[in-house]
Amino acid sequence: MLECVLIRSQPRGFSREPGQDHRYHDYRHSQYSALRPFFRLAERLMLRCAVLISFLAFLAVAVQPVRILAQQSSDEDEVIRVNTDLLLFPIRIRDKKGQAVAGLTDQDLSLKDQDKVTTGIYFSRGADRVAMLFALDQSGSLRQIIEQQREAALALFSRFGERSSVAIVRFSSTATLVAPFTKDLENARAAFKFRVAPNAKTAIFDSAATSLKAFDDLTPTRTERRIVVLISDGLDTSSRTNPDTVIEAALEQHVSFYVIHLPLFEPRDGRLEVRRPSKGFKDLAEKTGGKYFLVGDAKSALAPKPTDLTPIFQAIEEDLKSQYLLGFYIAESSRDNRKHVFSVSMKPEGVEYSVGRTGYRRTQQFMINLPPNDKKTPNSDNPHD
């Protein structure tokens, strides 16, 4: 049928006016009978070429959007390549009135690096996406409080971006990851309901170590803030893990602990006082870029009211959203067994920042000291005054 249509088609540039002699333009005329097979073969070849070209053009149009979408997905996630030469620090920035400062970029920073040990700065808002793990103490009366605060806790998580994820660890004498990282709130909600552990012992620092391991299955991304919200009475009676070991690992993995202390009380000097937490409990927060919260006092213990952690969860949200991530790419030439100091200052007037436990200043100094052939960069180095 196609061949018939082609034969009947009118050649371009030729008219069919009556009386015109077409013998010199039409190979089908009897005068050209010997060449007819050759022209038919040429027609078929041209037809096949046209069909092939049309098919290839269709494939090009169909495949192109898929390629573009794949590139967009990769750019959106901003996956970190394995690169131990990137130092990252969560920092807090405030103005003269003590308010958080939004909208800053790397153009608002001034780097002084005389030894040229850095090759660039990484700077971004640090809480548009979070990986949030709740570590829950199963001992004593905490079970009822934690269960009652479930919705307030999950509301904290839900106020961050859609790509955020949540996980749950519960602990008594041992720690268990009962809900790995997920975007499904129902799995996390169920993990907040549990029985009181029959064993009175508590392993806070072991649970902190277990919490850090839960992050291993996540793909690291620069824009993601990784935090652990640890809720406990602060008394560790059975951990084998040293607090300093956990803190060092948290700094290396860029995980910050927000510690919520639901205290026990004891008589002291004729008064009711908060029972002192185990050594290193507050340090989990203060040395990893998080915050420590003490819930209640002796007065509230004598006139008990239902515990409401909503204000604390709001404070955690505000703290996270006020933070930025400041990072440095370290040059290979800095691995010379020498101490190198560089500094970063805020350009805008009246703006200052803090790193870890340092006070707020317009300029903070950082130090590195790397041996040759060391494949690990001390991501946990604290800035020096």
Q: What's the CATH architecture for 84-385?
A: 3-Layer(aba) Sandwich (3.40)
Task: Write down the pLDDT at residue 50.
Answer: 55
CA-nearest of 312, 137, 325 to 220 is 325
Task: Write down the pLDDT at residue 383.
Answer: 46
Q: Where are the domains of the chain?
A: 25-77, 84-385
> What pLDDT digit, counting tens, does each position of 253-278 carry?
889 999 999 988 888 887 888 889 99
Please name the amino acid found at residue 27: Y
> What pLDDT digit, counting tens, does each position of 118-144 carry?
999 999 886 778 999 999 998 776 777
Question: Exposed, middle or buried: residue 76 (CB in 10 Å: 0-12, 13-18, 19+)?
Answer: exposed
Task: Write down the pLDDT at residue 60.
Answer: 45
Task: Write down the pLDDT at residue 123.
Answer: 92
Question: Exposed, middle or buried: residue 173 (CB in 10 Å: 0-12, 13-18, 19+)?
Answer: middle
Task: Write down the pLDDT at residue 219.
Answer: 85
How far is it, in rounded angstroms, from Cα 178 to Cα 102?
Answer: 36
Indicate yes or no: pTM above 0.75.
Answer: no
Task: Write down the pLDDT at residue 29.
Answer: 47
Task: Write down the pLDDT at residue 335.
Answer: 87
Residue 385 near residue 365 (C-beta atoms within 8 A): yes
With a cut of 70, which residues of the chain have pLDDT below it? 1-84, 126, 141, 196-200, 222, 298, 300-304, 373-385
Structure tokens at 223: 């824009």
